[in-house]
Amino acid sequence: MAHITDWMATAKPDPEWEEAPDIGQFPDIASLRKWITQSKEDGAAEMGGSISGVKESDHQVEMRDGHKITCRTYHPESSGGSPLFVMYHGGGWCIGGLENEELLCRLMTSKLGMTCVNVDYRLAPEHQFPVPILDCYDATKWAAENASTLGADPSKGFIVGGTSAGGNVSAVIAHMWRDAGDKPGLTGCHLMIPAICYGAFLPEKYRGECKSFEQNKNAPILSAKACDLFTDNYIPEMEDRKDPMFSPLLVPTGQKGLPASYFQICGMDPLRDEALVYERILRRDEGVQTKVDMYPGLPHGYWSIAPKLKVSEKFVQDSVKGAEWLLQQK
């Protein structure tokens, strides 16, 4: 984001935005889940529906410990070998499920002819770090190994992506995949409002410019208290939070050789600056192709809370265009 020189200015509220609840108000994950369930029953924040031309299937995929998770796949009705996208939903590693990314998977399949794999990984606090990451890695291996059966051809594009915690998972998987020499190689990483590095372990040289966590500590939806709620339940041991499987910025092998990366970043988000730093490292230091769409004055995950806003429609449209851009980089 070489053209954005004042990162803090992007937190000025967008005039279209109205206040929303702060996840940090909930004392525990159980009460948050109860509120989400009630909101769904009340019909709040419904997004999308089935889309013509898209076939869907559920698969029970075995993980390394023998547990099975669901991977829902989305296929074009007429496919002669399509690009492959593996999607990890958001929710702070503690909430959410397949429905979070239904709309985006359907749109990418419908508009871009992709085969999408939506991963229902296990959640904390019942399944703490690193179980969700390992589930996502194993599911990605399954998708790659079964690509032809799924009607996909990774040589036409092989992308991993996700929102928030799912963006964190995507960045982690990109490093793990590269370091393991897994084949086929990833061609793209789709990072929507990702968490990149736990603040206490952010390298000293970046701390002076990473001010969004303090600036946006009382932001709607994802406040500092909300971040703590999720992190404390997902990865309670402080020492574990510098593990590259949680803070991919800290991977000892660095960022060279990562796939092209597309970022969506919100200006009123505590996670804003770590994403901006990470994008700059990829682009400027390591020569990775990157593209960024910024949403000034809007909080973390705003489009899921207020899907009918024009800026929410733009976010979803940009997500599809971002995947299209990644396919062009391979």
Active site residues: 164, 269, 300
CB 286 within 8 A of CB 77: no
Q: What are all long-range contacts of 133-137, with beta carbons under 8 Å and residues at least 24 apart?
A: 133/169, 133/172, 133/173, 133/245, 133/246, 134/63, 134/64, 135/63, 135/69, 136/88, 136/169, 136/173, 137/173, 137/176, 137/177
Cα distance between the two ends of the chain: 21
Residue 45, classified by CB atoms within 10 Å of its CB into exposed (0-12), middle (13-18) or buried (19+), is: middle
3-state secondary structure of 39: helix
For tokens 């020499």, the residue is 181
The order of strands in the sheet holding 290-299 is 54-62, 68-76, 115-119, 84-88, 158-163, 188-192, 260-268, 290-299
Spell out the residues 6+ positions from residue 115 whose beta carbon is closer than 8 angstroms to its own. 73, 74, 75, 76, 79, 82, 83, 84, 85, 109, 147, 150, 151, 152
Neighbours of 47 (CB within 10 A): 15
Question: Rounded to whole angstroms, how far apart are CA atoms 28 and 16?
Answer: 31
